[in-house]
Amino acid sequence: MSSTIELIQLIKSLHGATQDISPDTSLTQNVGLTSVEVMELIEAVEDHFDIGFPLNKLENVKYVSDLAEIIDGLLKEQA
């Protein structure tokens, strides 16, 4: 099952984002996360999904869907 819905809830709870967040939302440009907040989000993602998230993978993350795709991959590896 895709992690997208849980991830969107996590972003909303962490940053009090009031706008609609969809898989196509940009984490930095639309949600407005700073680099520090992105790191905090990753820490929260690790704890929520109980996965290790290598920071190298962040280079390819722009949209919520990019992050969700990586989380799905990490969950699959772990299963």
Partner 1 sequence: MSLFDKFQETLKTAEILAHSANHTMPIGLSTDHLYSPVEGEMCGRKTLLAGTNNYLGLTFHPEIIAAAKNALDTLGTGSTGSRMASGTYAIHKTLEADLATFFNKGHTILFTTGYQANLGMISTLVGPEDVLLIDADSHASIYDAAKMSGAELYRFRHNDPDDLAKRLKRLGPKAQDALIVLEGIYSMLGDLARIKEFVEVKRQYGGYILLDEAHSLGVLGPQGQGLAAEAGVMDEIDFIVGTFSKSLGCIGGYCSSHFPELELVRNNSRAYMFSASSAPSVVATARKALEIVSGASDLRDKLWRHAERLYGELKDMGFRVGPQASPVLAVLMDSTQEAATAWQLLMQQGLYVNLVIPPATPGTMSLLRCSLSAAHSDEHINQIIAAYKTVAELR
Residues lying near partner 1 in the complex (CB under 8 A) are found at 34, 36, 39, 42-43, 46-47, 50-56
Q: Least CB distance from residue 22 to partner 1, whole Å?
A: 28
Instruction: Note the Cα 53 to chain centre separation in Å.
Output: 10
DSSP state of 43: H
Nearer residue to partner 1 within complex by CB, 17 or 51? 51
Alpha-carbon distance of 65 to 28, in angstroms, equals 13
Nearer residue to partner 1 within complex by CB, 18 or 56? 56
Q: Least CB distance from residue 78 to partner 1, whole Å?
A: 8
Contact 10, 44 (CB under 8 A): yes
